[in-house]
Amino acid sequence: MEKNTTQHEMDGLWLVPTPIGNLGDITIRALEVLRGVNLILAEDTRTTAKLLKHYGIDSPMQSFHMHNEHKSVPKIISELSAGGCIALVSDAGSPGVCDPGFLLVRACLAADINVEALPGATALIPALTLSGLPTNRFVFEGFLPQKKGRQKRLSELAMETRTIVLYESPYRIAKTLGQLAKHLGEDRGATASREITKKFEETVRGSLKTLLNHFTQTSPKGEFVIVIEGIS
């Protein structure tokens, strides 16, 4: 018989990845942690509530997002220092990767509070492996700066030899593809994956120009992962 995890063993902060679309993409261990913690910090409690309801989990939740994380961290550190066990989740994927979490993790480590990070669903790796581009060396850029520093980043990426992975929203995908084509070259090989693990999952392959034409003519929907070949 497996040994049950005690409350003491769960003390600290738990970073728990959540499905990026298909609710089946969550680990057994992640569900056990979400059931056992004192509190779940959720980027959007409405989104997380659907996941918890699906799996019959009734752990209390509290909102934790980019607009309140600076204010929330001291109180959370106080609760954890007193022996609490808290899980942090984002709306989808691993918390702290292009989502809130970094500030809290840094504060926990500074306060000598135990932090555990569970493996789980992410949009990054499926999009990369689906691209057909080299996966042995790649650079993850997350979201490009919206204004300040954007042009400089694009110029730097133009000289990147590794495969490049970016996140983008449907509202900016055409603009971003146009800028990438301008700085990296229209013929640079690339893919754009959207709705990964969901019913209408799609990966469009070709050159940056091909992708730009496609999403200029087709209304883009869903969150995107863009994968681009490095310069040879």
Instruction: Return the CATH number at 17.
Output: 3.40.1010.10
Domain boundary among 117, 147, 167: 117
Domain containing residue 137: CATH number: 3.30.950.10
Domain boundary among 117, 145, 160: 117
Angle at 200 between CA 17 and CA 195, to 5 degrees: 35
Q: What is the pTM of this model?
A: 0.89
Non-local (6+) Cβ contacts of 173 within 8 A are 192, 215, 220, 224, 226
* pLDDT tens-digit series, residues 93-134: 999 998 889 999 999 999 999 999 999 999 999 999 999 999
Query: Are 150 and 199 members of one domain?
Result: yes
Non-local (6+) Cβ contacts of 40 within 8 A are 34, 48, 52, 59, 60, 61, 62, 86, 87, 88, 89
For residue 4, the model assigns a pLDDT of 46
Read off the amino acid at residue 43. E
Structure tokens at 28: 């057994």
Range of the domain at 144: 124-228
Mean pLDDT of 146-151: 92
Mean pLDDT of 139-150: 94
Domain boundary among 117, 150, 169: 117
- Residue entry with tokens 């607009």: 67
With CA atoms as reference, report the closest residue to 127 among 176, 163, 170. 163
Structure tokens at 116: 């555990």
For residue 1, the model assigns a pLDDT of 30
